[in-house]
Amino acid sequence: MDDFISKSVEQTEEFAEEFSKNLNGNEIIAMYGELGAGKTAFARGLAKGFGVEDNVSSPTFAIVNEYNGVYPLYHFDMYRIESWNDLDSIGFFDYIDNGVIIIEWSENIEGALPENVIKVNISKTDNENERIFKIEGI
């Protein structure tokens, strides 16, 4: 997929909403990018694409938020996950193949991700409202 340059949070959400139309209902989407990159904004747009009307925010404390849209959507935040044991104890592996999984701070669980994940790399630029999206695996 071509790189996408977003010039605003709204453009990021619209891009994710469009992107959601490529999904079949059992993908894992691993997002990478620093704090404020736009991971939650991307997840929000994707949820909107699934017809979810709930408010979507980072599940930092809950670890996982579940949304019911055209497909079940599981939104994880791995910020506080440090080991395979942590990942197992939150039941991560039971979610696989039961809906779409979208992950913030995938850096923390890199070794536990299956090979067929879709990777969404988000980087900031010198421009305050600009973000570059690089998507692999779709």
Ligand X SMILES: Nc1ncnc2c1ncn2[C@@H]1O[C@H](COP(=O)(O)OP(=O)(O)O)[C@@H](O)[C@H]1O
- By the rule CB under 5 A, 12 interacts with Mg ion: no
**Contact pick of 9, 64, 70, 132 for ligand X (by CB under 6 A):** 9
35 binds, among ligand X, Mg ion, none (CB under 5 to 8 A by kind): ligand X
- Output 6 or 106, the one with its CB closest to ligand X: 6
User: Helix 39-49 crosses helix 9-19 at what angle (to 10 degrees)?
Assistant: 50
Which residue is associated with the tokens 């409202």?
129
Q: Residues near 86 by Cβ (< 8 Å), separated by ≥ 6?
A: 80
Residue 2, classed as helix, strand or coil, is coil
Residue 5 binding target from Mg ion, ligand X, none, CB below 5 to 8 Å by type? none
Smaller CB distance to ligand X: residue 48 or 131? 131
Site for Mg ion contains 131 (CB under 5 A): no
Q: Residues 28, 29, 30, 37: which binds ligand X (CB under 6 A)?
A: 37
Residue 94, Cα to own-chain centre: how many angstroms? 18
Residue entry with tokens 């991700």: 113
Contact window for Mg ion (CB under 5 A) among 9-17, 45-53, 78-86, 102-110: 102-110
Euclidean distance between CA atoms 75 and 80, whole angstroms = 14
